Structures are given as structure tokens and as C-alpha cells.
């Protein structure tokens, strides 16, 4: 952040957003070969979540974790290639199940009250689909710790060195968000010995 963030105009915000944003990374459809296993898991999880004709799964080639995503009108579900290196199979299952829930949300135009945002809803649906709270929470934490490093690096590149206080605030804000999501996951009732629902 610059010294004069108090006087930021919308124009400056736009400039900052441009500086922070990455160019769109190349993506490719997951059809066969090295991603077969991932595609099988994706289809299996879609069936568990009762999602017919799940959108194509695409891998986004990116050195960043960023976020996986179920885009707009669910044209596809995108997983960043960096996630494939960072996460175990169980944690990846959870990521796929989470994004599939966003597909269901978008298809049903479901709205969420303030006590439950779409992220918590997707986390809960994912843990029910995979039946693995531990992997869900570990995966979330791994992604969060990569993301905070990436955010700090990008901000320093755009705005110069951040102060200790600024870095601490970023980390604390993220920890608070992570705590909300982790608690939502812990509170899911799973049926003993298997999947919930
Ligand atoms: Zn999400």
C-alpha cells in the first residue's frame, strides 16, 4: 500500500487492481491421459452431489494457487495446475467437490442468507461428499498459506515493501476468514463410518 491510500480515488483503485491482476493463464480441457484419475474422481463426486452433466473440467496452467473456480454460468470447472502439486488426492477431491457445489449453486440460482455464505455452503457440501473433514481442513490451510505469500509478493511488487504491521494485518484477516470456514467444516454432522447426507 502507498502512503496515501486515504486519498485513493477510484482511478487509483483501478490502477492497483490492474497491477495486482495476472494475465489470463492458458487452460486446457481435461479429457484423458495424465488427468484421467482426476476426471474419474470429478465424475464420481458430481454423481455423489447429484449434479447431472457436470461442466468440463479444465486445468489452468499457472504458477499461482489463486483459486480454482466454477465460472459464471458454469461453462467449466477450473483447477489451477499449482494445486495439483500442492494437494494430496484426498485434498484435491475436496477441492473438486467444493467447486461442484458452486456449480449446483449457480444452476439453481440459490441465494444464501448472511449466516451462511456460498463458500461455507460449498465447504460443507464438499466435506459431506468426501466424508473427510481432516483433508478438507488441511487442504484449506495449505491453500491459504500459499495464497497469503502470493498476495504479499504481488502487493510488494505493485506498491513497494509492506510494513510489518501491514503484513500482520493481511495475515490476521486471512486467519479470521479461515477460522470461520474451518468451524463450519468441523460442525458438519457426518454419518458414522461413511458419507453424510
Ligand atoms: Zn469456493
In this prediction the pTM is 0.81
Q: Which whole number is the average pLDDT over 170-190?
A: 91
Task: Please list the alpha-helical segments (H only) found in 109-163.
Answer: 118-130, 133-159
pLDDT for res 114:
43
- Separation of CA 2 and ligand 1 centre (Å): 30
* In the predicted structure, residue 11 carries a pLDDT above the cut 90: no
- Separation of CA 160 and ligand 1 centre (Å): 30
- Separation of CA 108 and ligand 1 centre (Å): 16
| Confidence label for 174 from pLDDT (cuts 50, 70 and 90) | very high
| Confidence label for 128 from pLDDT (cuts 50, 70 and 90) | very high
Decide if 95 contacts 83 (C-beta within 8 A).
Answer: yes
Query: Residues with beta carbon < 5 A to ion ligand 1?
Result: 119, 122
pLDDT for res 191:
72
- Separation of CA 122 and ligand 1 centre (Å): 6
Q: How far apart are CA 144 and CA 83, in angstroms?
A: 12
Amino acid at each position: 500500500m502507498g502512503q496515501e491510500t486515504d486519498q485513493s480515488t477510484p482511478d487509483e483503485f483501478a490502477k492497483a487492481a490492474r497491477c495486482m491482476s495476472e494475465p489470463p493463464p492458458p487452460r486446457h480441457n481435461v479429457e484423458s491421459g495424465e488427468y484421467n484419475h482426476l476426471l474419474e474422481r470429478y465424475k464420481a463426486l458430481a454423481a455423489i452431489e447429484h449434479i447431472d452433466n457436470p461442466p468440463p473440467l479444465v486445468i489452468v496452467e499457472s504458477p499461482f494457487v489463486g483459486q480454482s473456480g466454477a465460472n459464471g454460468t458454469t461453462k467449466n470447472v477450473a483447477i489451477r495446475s499449482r494445486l495439483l502439486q500442492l494437494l494430496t488426492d484426498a485434498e484435491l477431491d475436496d477441492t473438486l467437490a467444493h467447486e461442484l457445489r458452486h456449480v449446483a449453486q449457480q444452476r439453481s440460482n440459490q441465494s444464501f442468507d448472511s449466516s451462511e455464505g456460498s463458500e461455507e455452503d460449498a465447504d460443507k457440501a464438499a466435506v459431506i461428499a468426501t466424508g473427510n473433514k481432516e483433508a478438507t481442513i488441511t487442504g484449506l490451510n495449505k491453500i491459504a498459506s500459499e495464497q497469503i505469500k502470493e498476495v504479499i509478493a504481488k502487493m510488494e511488487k505493485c506498491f513497494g515493501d509492506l510494513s510489518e504491521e501491514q503484513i500482520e494485518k493481511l495475515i490476521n484477516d486471512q486467519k479470521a476468514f479461515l477460522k470461520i470456514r474451518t468451524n463450519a467444516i468441523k460442525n458438519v454432522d457426518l454419518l458414522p463410518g461413511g458419507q453424510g447426507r
